[in-house]
Amino acid sequence: MSQDIVIAGVGGQGTVLASRIIAEAAILANQPVFTSETIGMAQREGCVTSNVRIGEPLYGAVIPDGKADVLIGFELAETVRLLPKLKPGGTVIANATKIVPVSVATGKSVYNEAQLSEYLNEWPGSCYIFDASRLAEEAGSFKAVNIVMLGALSTLPDLLFTSEQLLEAILAMVPPKTTEINKKAFLAGRQALGGS
């Protein structure tokens, strides 16, 4: 059995750390794993994508179109942008927050929040949209949005790793002084999807 998770976001939101954490959880669960991340120029506020592929058969690290089981979107427009990666009936976990790019601020392009939300809500599979950025701030730092999203992910059924393994991977990989914030962020993400 294999599982493909794609993460969409904006450079600086912590997508790279999120995919590494999932991969470490997969290793804790004795599963083979690949990740592929956007590193380089796009990390300066550009579109970034992380791919995580777990289990067998495992071919390459980059998920083909229409094959991802789960899409985790850290930002509204970026979630919509990567929707073609999701398989029919796949699950979307999306942060409702928008990050307005400079192109929109300077009038070179448009960000139609209502249209994008509506389009996402029409997705014919499970689709959870919630304000993860607010939950991260409430947990102690806007930077913990990646951990909130992982908390939400951990509530999905049939993952190839347990939520305990995911939390263990998080705590092993974040700076020790942020442990409490990240524990809170993880729990907030779980609760957002009805977990505890």
Tallying the residues shown for the chain, one arrives at 196
Maximal CA-CA distance, the chain: 49
| Contact assessment for residue 133 and residue 9, using Cβ atoms and an 8 Å cutoff | no
65 is an interface residue for another protein by CB under 8 A: yes
40 is an interface residue for another protein by CB under 8 A: yes
Residue 40, amino acid: G
CA angle 154, 155, 159 (to 5 degrees): 60
23 is an interface residue for another protein by CB under 8 A: yes
| Contact assessment for residue 155 and residue 194, using Cβ atoms and an 8 Å cutoff | yes
Name the 3-class secondary structure at 87.
strand
37 is an interface residue for another protein by CB under 8 A: yes
Q: Binding residue for another protein (CB under 8 A) from 5, 71, 72, 77?
A: 77
Q: Which stretch binds another protein (CB under 8 A): 112-120, 150-158, 175-183, 186-194?
A: 112-120
Q: Kindly list the residues in this chain that would bind another protein in the complex (CB under 8 A).
A: 10-12, 19-20, 23-24, 26-27, 32-47, 57, 59-62, 64-66, 77-78, 80-81, 83-84, 87-88, 100-112, 115-116, 119, 122, 142
